[in-house]
């Protein structure tokens, strides 16, 4: 049986991952209205990944017999100053999520929940990739600028991003 403190932390993370999907959906909206379809596509893929992350927590809670809480999802920002501003916020968000996953791992260690520690390991690796991805685009935007040919070149590159369904050990993502 999962410790109550762990159950609570896992449920909070479930909400944060669904919020992340919502957060990136706002960015799809922003870029779609600018007709920057490559950027919009990049965040559409990100939304799908966040949904996978959320379902990973959902299915882990179900699998371990924990009660699932589905509170409201907070409203994300939808007004941004520039593409660079979007990636600055996205990078900060991923850093926040990384710290949140680390806190979950701290709880799992505190209550000696080895099963959850194994489960969380996938998320720790994933967060490192998430931060790297956002940092790469952020740095390129800083170099190329927020407009002109540099921006369209990055837009073309981001259009190539592929969605690969997450394979999280021990949990199925089919809902
Ligand atoms: Fe699920 Fe981007 O953190």
The pLDDT score that the predictor gives to residue 174 is 65
Atom of ligand 1 minimally distant from the CA of 17: 1
97-143, pLDDT tens digit by residue?
Answer: 999 999 999 999 999 999 999 999 999 999 999 999 999 999 999 99
Q: What is the pTM of this model?
A: 0.96
Transcribe the chain into DSSP letters: ---HHHHHHHHHHHHHHHHHHHHHHHHHHHHHHTT-HHHHHHHHHHHHHHHHHHHHHHHHHHHTT------PPPPPP---S-HHHHHHHHHHHHHHHHHHHHHHHHHHHHTT-HHHHHHHHHHHHHHHHHHHHHHHHHHHHHHH-SSHHHHHHHHHHHTT--------TT-----
Residues within 6 Å of ligand 1 by CB:
17, 20, 50, 53, 94, 97, 130
What are the structural domains of the chain? 4-158 (1.20.1260.10)
């Amino acid at each position: 049986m999962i410790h109550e403190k762990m159950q609570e932390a896992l449920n909070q993370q479930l909400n944060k991952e669904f919020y992340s999907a919502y957060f990136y959906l706002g960015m799809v909206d922003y870029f779609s209205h600018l007709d920057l379809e490559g950027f919009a596509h990049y965040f559409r893929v990100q939304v799908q990944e966040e949904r996978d992350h959320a379902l990973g927590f959902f299915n882990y809670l179900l699998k371990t017999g924990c009660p699932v809480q589905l509170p409201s999802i907070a409203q994300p920002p939808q007004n941004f100053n520039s593409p660079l501003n979007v990636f600055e916020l996205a990078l900060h968000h991923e850093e926040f999520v990384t710290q949140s996953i680390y806190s979950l791992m701290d709880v799992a260690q505190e209550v000696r929940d080895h099963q959850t520690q194994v489960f969380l390991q996938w998320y720790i690796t994933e967060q490192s990739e998430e931060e790297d991805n956002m940092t790469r685009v952020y740095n390129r935007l800083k170099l190329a600028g927020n407009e002109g040919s540099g921006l369209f070149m990055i837009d073309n590159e981001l259009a190539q991003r592929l969605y690969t369904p997450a394979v999280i050990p021990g949990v199925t993502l089919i809902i």
